[in-house]
Structure 1
Amino acid sequence: MTQSSVEPRTTAEDAGPGSRVPAGRSWLDRYFHISERGSTVAREVRGGITTFMAMAYILLLNPLILNGKDVAGNVLSQPGLITATAFAAAATTLLMGFVGKVPLALAAGLSVSGVLASQVVPQMTWPQAMAMCVMYGVVICLLVVTGLRELIMNSIPLALKHGITMGIGLFIALIGLVKAGFVGKGSEFGPPVTLGAGGELAGWPVLIFCLTLLLIFMLQARAIPGAILIGIVVGTVVAVAVHSIAGLDAKAWNMSPPELSRGAVSMPDFSLFGHVEFGGWGEVGAITVGFIVFTLVLAGFFDAMATIIGVGTEAKLADERGRMPGLSKALFIDGAGGAIGGVSGGSGQTVFVESATGVGEGARTGLASVVTGLFFAACLFFTPLTAIVPPQVASAALVVIGAMMMQNAKHVDWGDRSVAIPVFLTVVLMPFTYSITPGVAAGVISYVAIKAAQGKAREVGGFMWALTAIFIVFFALNPIEGWLGVH
């Protein structure tokens, strides 16, 4: 492994121009190397709180995404999901703070949760799906230990990295629009998707979604810290008032209605912890299981990769090519988050782009992550309060995050067809297929093919050719399973 660039650097230059590392520092300063990185305890605490405020919505959105039935018709407990989401986020973020010592916070990856809900549980049970998270986490850890993960990060063209980020953003936004009822399924002889149910918007819940979405965008335009969380709180208050005055039933909200009768504090519900089942995949098939793990690796891998690049750039850790040499500890903890989330029952954990909000407030060390992790731990005792938020309000945050991830479009040279076409296919196929892997696969294959057509096959690199072969197999999985007699 190369020396990690996220390890504390002890030169005066790292502490800022003309600054000096003070003598007689506290143990906190020495452990997190706060002075060496030109920060203060106050900045780290403020940065950690800001990061938590920016990503606390995950306590609402992850249970929303994972509220579907598995192949056996079972549904996960909502209080259990909220507890699992909070616990896994707290555990992994604290680990990143104390061990990784960098201002990166982790929580349930929306792309991973989206894959579980849309592609995995229609084929297997929830405990088996959580086992998939453990397996993909172990795979990513092995990639880190062998140095392959950093090699892969540096081998994929930067334009494709930005395309993957944008595609995941559109995929997440579409999930939010569908969950809110703003987009609905079309009829057999009509368009595949429609505006709302039957081609029109109707009902208070959809209106509240629209108002919440606009409010968050307006707050972000004013650069208000914690805009997403503020929007969710305001939207929930409005939903509670509307529900009370209009007398709507639970069916109108697609979940339990927003009511204050449940109280605010309760003991954590660890009913989902440890519900992991390895095996029993006979009906699914070994090849399909392998590709499910591969899909989850891609979802967690590229989501985290794009996030680390973005936050690292904000903290001046990444170079102009998007490379961050020696991120071994941070990458390993990110990979371990898959296994921790699977065992907890709350989906695989990954680094969140909202960590950049804390960096923007001055956070430079792991102390900020410790503060964020402690806030998530405190949320374990406020499950009823978070359960009040209706899905239409929480879904607005999904659309906002999707919009934020589309900002990567400014880094793409749209005049270069060898770049623009692969990025376009990567971006559009993720939401259009309701899956992440087809977008990545189409982007990689088209990039290699176009470069070969231009006589630049050697510029592609051996890894990209190998990945192209793997993705060709992915697209041809159905006939291959038929030839092998595997179903």
Structure 2
Amino acid sequence: MSETVVHAEVPTRHDRLDRYFRLAERGTSVRTEVLAGITTFLTMAYIVLVNPSILGAAGMPVAAVAAATCFAAGFASILMGLSSNTPLALAPGMGLNAYFAYTVVGQMGVPWQVALGCVFLSGILFLLLTLTGVRQMIVACIPPHLFAAVAGGIGLFIGFIGLQNAGIVMASPATAVSLGDLKTPGAGLALFGLLLIAVLSIWSVRGAMLIGIVGTTLVGWMFGMVAIEPVPYTFATMTETVFALDIPGVFNLSATHGLGVVEILFVFMFVDIFDNIGTLVAVTKRAGLINAAGKIPGLNRILMSDAVATVVGSMAGTSTVTSYVESAAGVQAGGRTGLTAVVTGVLFLATMFVAPYAQIVPLAATAPALIVVGGLMLLPLKEVEWEDPMEAIPAFLTVAMIPFTYSIANGLAFGITAHAGLKLLRGRATTADWFLFLLAGVFVLRFVWMGAA
């Protein structure tokens, strides 16, 4: 009598990945997800060079910030992919890094270690607001046109910083700003970089900004405009910012900065919420992940991942970590699951071992990327109904005040206060707007306090 031996099939690595990330269910494959993850990485890898350039202006060690940027982006993207199964990659956010360096540290005089403590606490607050549902209240009371205006204002802010770093725009005692000397080597190199990135972009070359930064640096080196010096490549060099944050120092700021401490925490948290929600909606909609009810599955897990990433990033030594709209490039390449984000994260972690070399990249090479990114961030402004004064006036004040006062906080304050005031004067206020008027009242008190200081 013969016996039939049944051998249980051993799940392959692809089978396990398929089950965990639900690849077949979402109509994708391991190969597609890996290629999508590489695509996302190439489109956002410029942050490894740009973020240290910006935070370096705050006195932070450039090599260590570059390593922290890679670690934070790697950790955050892998966490997002594994916890929420969403093709959303994260890294230190553009705009908030500029606010960190130029406003909090530069204008307000806060030590960068204490500023990192502010980032840490803002991440904890974001986490608590997500758990308690207050985040939903904040988002619900702010109209979409102010979301768009904040994004546009930050875009102008970043672009203005890029133009200044390039020497294309300079200070003027007569008109505040004026055209710089375009004959200087730095301005010429920046204009070359801007042209290179623009040409690569219009030809849809993946990684256009990264290629542009590297190419501009090489041209600067060829013409003797970049000093290539031996870069210390030690564990100590790469970890100078790790656990350097000063949390007790945040609470001591109240004696010297008063309500400014609340403002710093509010801006870090508030802009992160806007940035995350806007990017999340755009990417998940493009990936077809929004359900029939118009909601994003696993939204709380996504927001929790973002908050945890900010906390961990501050401990590593970088500014607020947030979702990147460049994730849409990976979705365009076929990415539909968290495996795309995991692949992107792994590539960022691998890049960490060459991160110290970021300090050889001159400002003239990173400035074009800031200008281009700033321009791309103006896209949401098309969502504003510019013919309607109820939308146009608060939106314009938000957009204008961010770059003109060098402060995201001022733009938010003017926009939200104007929106609340016009809504009240037009007779459209309801009891449901109580939280909006509470925010506006806080901003009015802020203006009074600043005027009396």
* TM-score normalised by length of structure 2: 0.90
Counterpart in the other structure of 2:5: none
Question: Matches of residues 147-296 of structure 1 in structure 2 within 5 Å?
Answer: 147-187=133-173, 190-196=174-180, 200-243=181-224, 248=225, 257-259=226-228, 262=230, 269-280=238-249, 281-282=252-253, 283-296=255-268
Which of 57, 65, 71 lines up with 1:68 in the alignment?
Answer: 57
Moved more, 113-122 or 451-460: 451-460
Counterpart in the other structure of 2:30: 41
Counterpart in the other structure of 1:13: none
Identity rate, percent: 36
Matched, 1:144 2:134: no
Output the aligned Cα RMSD.
Answer: 2.5
3-state SS, counterpart of residue 107 of structure 1: strand
Structure 2, unmatched stretches of 5+, are: 1-11
3-state SS, counterpart of residue 377 of structure 2: helix
State the one-letter code of the partner of 1:40: S
State whether residues 259 and 446 of structure 2, in contact with CA within 8 Å, keep that contact through their aligned partners in structure 1: no
Moved more, 329-338 or 458-467: 458-467
Counterpart in the other structure of 2:355: 383
Cα deviation for residue 329 of structure 1 reads 0.7
3-state SS, counterpart of residue 225 of structure 1: coil
Using the alignment, how far apart are the partners of 2:331 and 2:380 within structure 1?
19
Cα deviation for residue 322 of structure 1 reads 9.0
State the one-letter code of the partner of 2:368: A
State the one-letter code of the partner of 1:405: M
State the one-letter code of the partner of 2:182: L
Counterpart in the other structure of 1:115: 99
Which of 403, 406, 427 lines up with 1:455 in the alignment?
Answer: 427
Matched, 1:354 2:337: no
Which of 120, 127, 130 lines up with 1:134 in the alignment?
Answer: 120
Which of 409, 421, 424 lines up with 2:396 in the alignment?
Answer: 424
Using the alignment, how far apart are the partners of 2:396 and 2:285 within structure 1?
24
State whether residues 413 and 440 of structure 2, in contact with CA within 8 Å, keep that contact through their aligned partners in structure 1: yes
Matched, 1:101 2:69: no
Cα deviation for residue 477 of structure 1 reads 2.7
Cα deviation for residue 315 of structure 1 reads 2.3
Aligned residues: 436
3-state SS, counterpart of residue 322 of structure 2: strand
3-state SS, counterpart of residue 457 of structure 1: coil
Using the alignment, how far apart are the partners of 2:40 and 2:387 within structure 1?
36
State whether residues 14 and 30 of structure 2, in contact with CA within 8 Å, keep that contact through their aligned partners in structure 1: no
Moved more, 360-369 or 219-228: 219-228
Question: Matches of residues 287-306 of structure 1 in structure 2 within 5 Å?
Answer: 287-306=259-278
* TM-score normalised by length of structure 1: 0.84
State the one-letter code of the partner of 1:436: I
Considering fraction of residues, name the structure with more helix: 2
- TM-aligned CA distance change 1:460 to 1:205, over 3 Å: farther
State the one-letter code of the partner of 1:269: M
Cα deviation for residue 119 of structure 1 reads 2.2
3-state SS, counterpart of residue 86 of structure 2: coil
Moved more, 272-281 or 368-377: 272-281
- TM-aligned CA distance change 1:305 to 1:475, over 3 Å: farther
Counterpart in the other structure of 2:9: none
Cα deviation for residue 24 of structure 1 reads 11
Cα deviation for residue 479 of structure 1 reads 5.1
State the one-letter code of the partner of 2:199: M
State the one-letter code of the partner of 2:348: F
Matched, 1:58 2:47: yes
